[in-house]
Amino acid sequence: MAQLFDEYYKEKEAELLRDICDSIAIPSIAQEDDGQGNPFGRSVTKCLEHILERGAALGFQTDNVDNYVGEITMGSGEHLIGILCHADVVDAGTGWNTEPFSAVVADGELYGRGSIDDKGPMMCCLYAMDYIQRNQLLPDNTRIRMIIGTDEEENWLSIDKYLKENPEIPEISIVPDANFPVISCEKGLINVAMTVPVTCNNKESDNRILLKLESLSGGERANVVAASASCSIISTDEKYDCCKLAEAVKQLGRKLHVPVTVAIAGSKLTIKLEGKAAHAMTPEKGINAISYLMELLFRLTSDEEYVFAQQNVLEFYHRYLGLSYNGEGMNLAWSDEDSGNLTVNVGLLTLTALNLDVIINLRYPVTKRFEEVEAALAMVCEESGAFMKFGVCMNPIYFDKNSSIVRQLMSVYQESTGDMVSQPISLGGATFARAIPNAIAFGPVFPDQEELAHEANEHYRVADYKRITEIYVKALLKLSANI
């Protein structure tokens, strides 16, 4: 007789939580190849090794594919079900109340980078596999394989290499890296670098005080709403009053309702603006420090008292990007019923003597095509004299809400939670569900939970680790029974 899940979890909970905490303690932020067999840095390799060690300790077959991808497999049947996860995380950023890479439990919540994305749910899936194996519930004709990537938060080189060199693709896969009840579609994704040449105005005006941006930068990565941005302003204009400019900056900060700090060193004014980080798929949840700093600088010049030597880049940003996150300025304000609004996030910005460089993360509705977005961006470049270069781009994916995989996973979710109201949803994020056919994102964030992936103070309810482990048990068994 199979052991009741409640009994199993009571026995294994401390071990599972320890495994989650131990994996969080490894700051597995994907880096450049270190030339020593670690394609994404030693910390990522260390985390992958830790996960594989835990899989082996639970009695599973494990394989490390050149420190790019790990496999944890149970069963020996001809049919293969996949669980697609990733060992890497985004960097911590700022604003944490705890140490991001030292897991802390407070008020029933487990805090730490990766508690949601993706170390917590990955370990829960591993223990779901353990429950199935211990109770011999897997059909003889089926295997389950956890596939662990190592640069999901970056360029997906790990999964690309794996798919090229390991031709066996699971017939059906779940990806525990999103939301419940199930993700029926994921928006298209585009990373694009736009370069705006600086048209430098070095002539002092009789009426306006000429300012120069000595430095200007912000953000950490394309797929995170920028939490901070800063600039330094200098001027040789005889009418320039640094203290007066500082007061104008502080007043604009109050009008924009964003925290601004200023520092004066001689005739140089340094401005730092703090925003709020969020996942680029939901830019409305954050406060983009880059956009607010650019708006503040543009507004400094709106009353004709000041003008910047690099005025054209401020005008470019105001016209085409501004404070919007739906693409209105670039004629990209698109939406559809299945996937909602197009979103735009400026994740990185740097000013050099010659150019303004911005890295944009754009997520577009499933009914649109890459070529349509490309055409709109090309028009922006034609009008402004900017240049663009595309980085990682991914087509949207879509499952009919009446498809077999959606119906099966909805059934598991509804039976497990009693929630008969929530419906399949669209996701702006990019999960490994895009990597292989017939893969679909399923959990771990419940409808009543806040999505905190990529944010400061990322955390997950400890009690819900039990809920999702049981849900993943049921999902894997249902899929294996119907494969």
- By C-alpha distance, which of 289, 291, 318 is closest to 302? 318
Q: Are 199 and 432 in contact (CB under 8 A)?
A: no
User: What is the DSSP code string of 327-391?
Assistant: -GGGT---EETTTEE-EEEEEEEEE-SSEEEEEEEEEE-TTS-HHHHHHHHHHHHHHHT-EEEEE
Strands (E), 183-309: 183-186, 188-197, 209-219, 228-234, 260-265, 268-274, 306-308
d(CA 146, CA 47): 15
Average pLDDT over residues 195-214: 84
Give yes or no for residue 94 having a pLDDT over 80. Answer: yes
* Chain centroid offset of residue 175 CA: 15
Q: What is the pLDDT of residue 203?
A: 63
For residue 347, pLDDT beyond 70:
yes
- 98 exposure class (CB count in 10 Å sphere: 0-12, 13-18, 19+): middle
Q: What is the mean pLDDT of residues 54-71?
A: 97
Listed in sequence order, the residues at least 6 apart from 160 whose beta carbon sits closer than 8 Å to its beta carbon are: none
Q: Which residues pair with 393 in a beta bridge?
A: 190
Mean pLDDT of the chain: 95
More confident of the two residues 239 and 388: 388
Tell me whether residue 314 is exposed, middle or buried, using C-beta atoms within 10 angstroms of its C-beta: 0 to 12, 13 to 18, 19 or more.
Answer: buried
- Ranking 98-102, 165-169, 255-259, 469-473 by mean pLDDT, the lowest is 165-169
- Give residue 206's pLDDT: 63
Q: Which residues contact 99 (CB under 8 A, 6 or more apart)?
A: none
Domain with CATH 3.40.630.10 in the chain: 1-186+397-481
Q: With 80 as the cut, is the pLDDT of residue 1 above it?
A: no
> What percent of the residues of the chain are helix, what percent strand, and what percent coil, each to the nearest 5?
35, 30, 40
Residues 6+ apart with CB under 8 A from 217: 229, 230, 231, 349, 350, 351
Asked if 313 and 386 touch (Cβ cutoff 8 Å), the reply is no
For residues 260 and 272, the answer to whether their CB atoms sit within 8 Å is: yes
pLDDT tens-digit series, residues 20-41: 999 999 999 999 999 999 999 9
- Asked whether the predicted pLDDT for residue 316 surpasses 80, the reply is yes
Q: So what's the pLDDT on residue 207? A: 83
Please provide residue 385's backbone torsions phi and psi, each rounded to the nearest 5 degrees. 80, 15
- pLDDT at residue 89 in the model: 97
Q: Name the residue among 63, 178, 167, 52 with its Cα closest to residue 118.
A: 178
pLDDT beyond 90 at 429: no
Asked if the 189-394 domain carries CATH number 3.30.70.360, the reply is: yes
Contact call for residues 352 and 359 (beta carbons, < 8 A): no
Q: Cα–Cα–Cα angle for 341, 343, 344, nearest 5°?
A: 160
- pLDDT of 13 reads 98
Tokens (6 digits) for 177? 């890296």
Rg, Å, the chain Cα set: 25
Whether 202 shows a pLDDT value over 70: the answer reads no
Looking at residue 266, the DSSP 8-state letter turns out to be T
* Average pLDDT for 393-418: 96
**What span, in angstroms and rounded, lies between the C-alpha atoms of 234 and 225?**
28
Q: What is the pLDDT of residues 272-297, one digit of tens each?
A: 999 999 889 999 999 999 999 999 99
Instruction: Give the pLDDT confidence score for residue 56 in this predicted structure.
Output: 98
Above 70 in pLDDT, residue 370?
yes
CA distance 2 to 135: 5
The mean pLDDT value for 5-23 works out to 97
pLDDT confidence band for 65 (50 / 70 / 90): very high
The set of long-range contacts for 32-36, using a CB threshold of 8 Å and a minimum separation of 24, is none
What interhelical angle do 119-134 and 5-24 show, nearest 10?
140
Backbone phi, psi, residue 436, to 5°: -135, 155
Q: Cα–Cα distance between 171 and 160 in angstroms, integer?
A: 18
* Reported confidence tier of residue 427, pLDDT bands at 50, 70, 90: confident
Above 60 in pLDDT, residue 204? no
What tokens appear for 258 in the block? 């964003």
Q: What is the pLDDT of residue 22?
A: 98
447 C-beta neighbours (distance < 10 Å), count: 14
**Of 298, 295, 288, nearest in space to 228 by CA:** 288
Residue range(s) of every CATH 3.30.70.360 domain in the chain: 189-394
Q: What is the largest distance, in Å, between two alpha-carbon atoms of the chain?
A: 90
From CA 16, how far away is CA 2, in angstroms rounded? 20
Q: Which helix (H) or strand (E) holds 146?
A: strand 142-149
Residue count of the chain, please give it.
483
Q: Which of 429, 423, 425 is nearest to 452 (CA)?
A: 429
| Tokens read off for 441 | 């994102």
1-186+397-481 classified as CATH 3.40.710.10: no
pLDDT at 304: 85
**Helices and strands, counts by H and E, the chain:** 10, 25
pLDDT of residue 454: 87
- pLDDT for the residue 200: 80
